[in-house]
Structure 1
């Protein structure tokens, strides 16, 4: 049995580090450029595997050199890539600008990810054997829905990260057990800026919500329960690129281990805090021993 299955994107992150991001029509000089394996799906898979989870990845890479490196990054982190297909053409890429405050702006070009439009042979079987299915929105929505339907048919917990944020079909929400937006995504989906108000609206659509609040931690809310705010460790961020994905990967592991949600969120917040202290996406993600130490 695979504890966690990730149906999601793989991207090569092309990262420029600058003092401040350029305004429209402006050119600025950066100080450094890095090529880092990423993609929201792959990030969550690596984060979960490093946090101690048994993880399988469903998705696609291209036939370029990026595809080789993306696959290697997953396998070297302990992720099962038997269902990570190779599609003719380029891999997905994310073009990222990171400023001195650790903030970022990202343009994603789907590449091979765009070929994943539905579950393929054997993929529903792998989902059936899992405890949780992790979904994001960097694949075509038809594939996300297909995965969510499969999970619902077989009683597998579905954890959805609604990013990049977009209107969500009612059927997808009906198949979602836990929604994990950041505060901006929550506001966009709910039409309410206040996280508590947004959570109240979102709970009409899904049973549980965790809204990540950056340095302020996260808010957990469930139907029929009092919302709980879980603070984050105080750290100096240098790059927030993969913080949310690190949080979700670690959270899925903690939930799979049967931890209460507040404890699971606290542990996941410790993982995200470690991530933002380092540069890059997959390269910044902590291992279980580091998370345990930071959360103690």
Structure 2
């Protein structure tokens, strides 16, 4: 890893190929090797910003992060025979369970992860066809030992090195990661809490299938990756705010099954106050099924289970004091419409210095929307363009976000933020009026988590700046959104403050204050 004139330069694919060639020897690319070789052979792998991102997100040491990044590259970007060869020569053991499920003898499965590279090669060549069949591949005739050593393995390691470089440089976050240092609060660079935020929203489990192609009707296709993790806009915004150093509590309904308990533990690990959660006995956790493509395009199906797991109006009444005494309240449309409206009423019951209100209207209610009076109680609405169709002025047949935005401002929404394509368009009823925040380009599509990062960052900036909204605050929130986008396909990609500041320090954009 090199620095020239203060600018970071990634290692070359040749350097990484050489490192991987060294790491395949003996017992392979194990955690012990990565830790023992710190500062020596493994140093380029540990110093990758992709590794540091993984370490920050998953709260693991750099050796575990390097192992995770390389494993993801093998699983997600290398196909066919090369995937099997990479797994074997590096002794990753990524497909051990799959091999066993297809009847491959345990002796063979263990041999593919043996301490000796020679043993691993022999097991690979001796079981070539069966290993390929277990992966749904046609492997043909096994190559000779000489061809495997002299041609196939070098090709595989060069390809893996190229994929590591792609992961390193083809992301806006590659130049903005800040490695944790001693003394960082909670190990993630968070400062002491600078404000109090309550998030009122949803808590679900996300089942994410990662695939390269969508199946046609009445057919199926294989996913190359799967992840089961806590999700929902309420959970994501609460975690995003906590990562930015805010004191956060989540108000949501959570089922008391094993998935609900996992959600609670996840929130506590992230420093989110869970004392206001409504635990629903003998209920099943709501799920979102997500099919995610390689660059972040996705489709989702929600199962909200609102008959069992819902946040009702009466669940908020005992929280009226907490809602009026915090600095900002973030509300999502994941909860029933009447609960959203009651939340806004309780916040506005504060006699003075009421909290800021930031609302996310996704998914829009299918039958109706919140009242005009409730719209007038929203300080900031953060919405994707497609979510605003129902707010079109009367007589407007073709959707146009500009008159829709004016319509919402006329209803009483103070500021509307429409993120998209890495940037954001702002419509405001203040002196700022309308302006666009430039995009931070990335090869990845914005995920729903990116908008959640924007909302949390907007709250943090408004609290830090005495509730004054400006172009600078909009740019900062957009940068936070870009950081969350940049870490795809890692889950749990919410940035901390130093991460956002690092991105902005390298940005080409400057803000000219509004006159």
- TM-score scaled by structure 2? 0.54
Secondary structure, aligned partner of 2:339: helix
Cα deviation digits, residues 230-271 of structure 1 (max 9, x gap): 012112216624111111111111111125332222111111
Secondary structure, aligned partner of 1:186: helix
Match of 1:127 in 2: 323
Query: Alignment partner for residue 153 of structure 1, among 345, 349, 356?
Result: 349
Match of 1:198 in 2: 404
Match of 1:283 in 2: 492
Match of 2:92 in 1: none
Query: Alignment partner for residue 335 of structure 2, among 139, 148, 153?
Result: 139
Secondary structure, aligned partner of 2:492: helix
Q: Which has the higher contact order (CA 8 A, sep 6+)?
A: 1
Does structure 1 residue 181 correspond to structure 2 residue 399? no
Query: Alignment partner for residue 21 of structure 1, among 209, 214, 218?
Result: 214
Does structure 1 residue 250 correspond to structure 2 residue 457? yes
Match of 2:151 in 1: none
- Contact 2:240 / 2:495 at 8 angstroms: preserved in 1? yes
Q: Displacement, 1:139?
A: 1.1
Q: Displacement, 1:161?
A: 0.6
Does structure 1 residue 108 correspond to structure 2 residue 297? no
Secondary structure, aligned partner of 2:406: helix
Q: Identify unmatched segments of 5+ residues in structure 2.
A: 1-193, 506-515
Cα deviation digits, residues 45-104 of structure 1 (max 9, x gap): 111111122211111211111111111221111111110121121122111111123111
Does structure 1 residue 31 correspond to structure 2 residue 224? yes
Which has the larger strand fraction? 1
User: In structure 2, how many angstroms separate the alpha carbons of the residues matched to 1:228 and 1:161?
Assistant: 20
Does structure 1 residue 77 correspond to structure 2 residue 270? yes
User: In structure 2, how many angstroms separate the alpha carbons of the residues matched to 1:114 and 1:268?
Assistant: 32
Does structure 1 residue 163 correspond to structure 2 residue 388? no
User: In structure 2, how many angstroms separate the alpha carbons of the residues matched to 1:97 and 1:294?
Assistant: 29
**Change over 3 Å in CA distance of 1:152–1:160 after alignment to 2:** same
User: In structure 2, how many angstroms separate the alpha carbons of the residues matched to 1:50 and 1:171?
Assistant: 33
RMSD: 2.2
- Contact 1:242 / 1:281 at 8 angstroms: preserved in 2? no
- Contact 1:9 / 1:39 at 8 angstroms: preserved in 2? yes
Does structure 1 residue 97 correspond to structure 2 residue 291? yes
Q: Displacement, 1:133?
A: 0.8
Q: Displacement, 1:122?
A: 3.1
Secondary structure, aligned partner of 1:159: strand
Secondary structure, aligned partner of 2:479: helix
Cα deviation digits, residues 103-154 of structure 1 (max 9, x gap): 1112222247832111345311110111111111111112111111101111
User: In structure 1, how many angstroms separate the alpha carbons of the residues matched to 2:229 and 2:439?
Assistant: 26
- Contact 1:46 / 1:282 at 8 angstroms: preserved in 2? no
Matches within 5 A, 1:56-67: 56-67=249-260
Query: Alignment partner for residue 48 of structure 1, among 222, 241, 247?
Result: 241
Secondary structure, aligned partner of 2:262: helix
Q: Identify unmatched segments of 5+ residues in structure 1.
A: none
Of 164-173 and 42-51, deviating more is 164-173
Match of 1:268 in 2: 477
Q: Displacement, 1:173?
A: 0.8
